[in-house]
Amino acid sequence: MVFVSDKVHLIGIGGVGMSGVARMLLSEGVSVSGSDMNDSPVLDALKQMGADIHIGHDAANIPAGVSLVVISAAVKEENPELSEARRRDIEVIKYARALGLLMASQVGVAVSGTHGKTTTTAMLAWILSQASKDPSFVVGAHVPDLDTSSREGSGGIFVAEACEYDRSFLNLRPRITIITNIEEDHLDYYHDLGEIVSAFKEFVALLPSDGLLLVNAHDRNALAVAGSSPAPVETFGARISADWQAVNLRADWGRYTFDVVNRGSEIISVSLAIPGVHNVLNALAALAVAHTLDVDFRTAAESLASFRGAARRFQVIGEAASVTVIDDYAHHPTEIQVTLKAARDFFRSGRLWVVFQPHQYSRTRFFLKDFARSFSQADRMIVPDIYFVRDSDQERACVNAGDLVRELVGFGYDAEYVPEFSDIVDRVASQVEPGDVVITMGAGNVNEVGYALLERLRTDS
């Protein structure tokens, strides 16, 4: 793997993707420095690898001799380190461009779509690792089975999530692309769904003619995009006509076993350890690409059977006082619906509590009524303040968490607005009963509620 600089500084180095790039650069012998606002175990690990890490942003954090600065999507122009890089005429690139440079010399596999990217990427990286393919990968969450979120491998295959926000996936040049689905999202950047579909068309048009595009046969937008691909197109689906089919689905407490059929020929049976019918499609996509990369079906099926998921994706973080606490990253109405359906199938008794932290004011405003329709499986709901990311002051003035709670109550849900995490922990700890399940849900820091709740329940019991 070849990169363009021997001394690189990363602003926002603690993020999952940025830390993954840093880890790969360090493995290549590149001198890496970086900064983030808060310390974390991720930064500690990078320090152990030799990175020069600073907490807080300051112009003095950029060492002499740096020839390239990489910034996360969250970094604004007024950031003092970015301003210093501009003043010193240091080349500045975004994370997605750095990812594209790392992928360029390998067989790139890009996993794209509105939902399911992280789990599908993690599944594929796990299958390839189990098949001794030694892939490079960047996953958008820690993967317990892999004991990391990223790694530089020697097998010549690079698997990575391809995010559509800011059209960042146009920086990648994969040989194989998966599209899990295409829905409205990131409407703080895109004007509407039509513009999102157009961006995906641009993305698949970058595929080489000898590559592969794999699309979800259930998703009409993904199918519409497929016509722009210069590469061959294959489809995947459950119980419908597709090149790769999951048939004979059987559920055992929300965890599915299914048979894989490829172009009419039954291949193998697959059993998943993680719940949710949506994960059948994720697994089918991962298996199809693994086959394209010369992994035998038995190895792929055995790998999927042992796959335990990714952090913050229906992650059981603990149990105390006979109460189970789960954390999930769902922050879009569709994600919420499939996650809560999986929870209800997996935990058939007890009340289902949901602590949902809306992510972005703009997303909350755009999907206000859709969010309100998404929680039919929940028995009790608590909503803290909206997690602030990227929004303008004008957006923040347009909606608040109380607006969402009013919509939820209007739909008949038992929901309340509790702004502070500490008060949420008090409220839930005093009212949960043995057998209840509590899910913290959202892309912000709402997982802190789950860990604090477990500590409280253990202390009180």
Q: pLDDT tens, 267-301?
A: 999 999 999 999 999 999 999 999 999 999 999 99
301 domain-assigned? yes
- The answer on 339 and 266 residing in a single domain is no
Helix or strand or coil: residue 17?
helix
Mean pLDDT of the chain: 93
Q: How many helices (H) and strands (E) does the chain have?
A: 16, 21
Residues labelled as active-site residues: 117-118, 161
Residue 237 sits in the same domain as residue 342: no
Inside any domain, residue 400: yes
Residue 1 pLDDT > 50? no
Q: End-to-end distance of the chain based on CA atoms, in angstroms? A: 53
What is the number of alpha carbons within 13 Å of residue 111 lying toward its C-beta? 28
pLDDT digits (tens, 9 = 90+) for 152-196: 999 999 999 999 988 999 999 999 999 999 998 887 888 899 999
- Local confidence band at 3 (pLDDT 50, 70, 90 cut-offs): low
Give a yes or no: residue 116 inside a domain: yes
Average of pLDDT values for 35-47?
Answer: 92
Does position 2 have pLDDT exceeding 80, yes or no?
Answer: no
pLDDT of residue 74: 82
Tokens 């691909």 sit on residue: 229
For residues 64 and 125, membership in a common domain is answered with: no
User: What long-range pairs does 388-394 form, CB within 8 A, spacing at least 24?
Assistant: 388/360, 388/361, 389/74, 389/359, 389/360, 389/444, 390/74, 390/188, 390/360, 390/362, 391/188, 391/360, 391/361, 391/362
DSSP tag of 386: P
- Range name among 43-47, 186-190, 232-236 with the lowest pLDDT average: 186-190
Is 118 in the same domain as 140?
A: yes
88 shares a domain with 117:
no
Beta bridge partners of 245: 237, 261
Q: Which residues pair with 269 in a beta bridge?
A: 259
For 90-111, give one letter per residue: b (16+ CB within 10 A) or e: bebbbbbbbbbbbbeebbbbbb
Average pLDDT over residues 352-364: 94
Contact residues for 370 (Cβ-Cβ < 8 A; gap 6+): 333
Here the CATH number for the domain that contains residue 155 is 3.40.1190.10
Domain enclosing residue 298, as ranges: 106-306
Assess whether 302 and 339 both reside in one domain: no
| Calpha distance 46→44 (Å, rounded) | 5
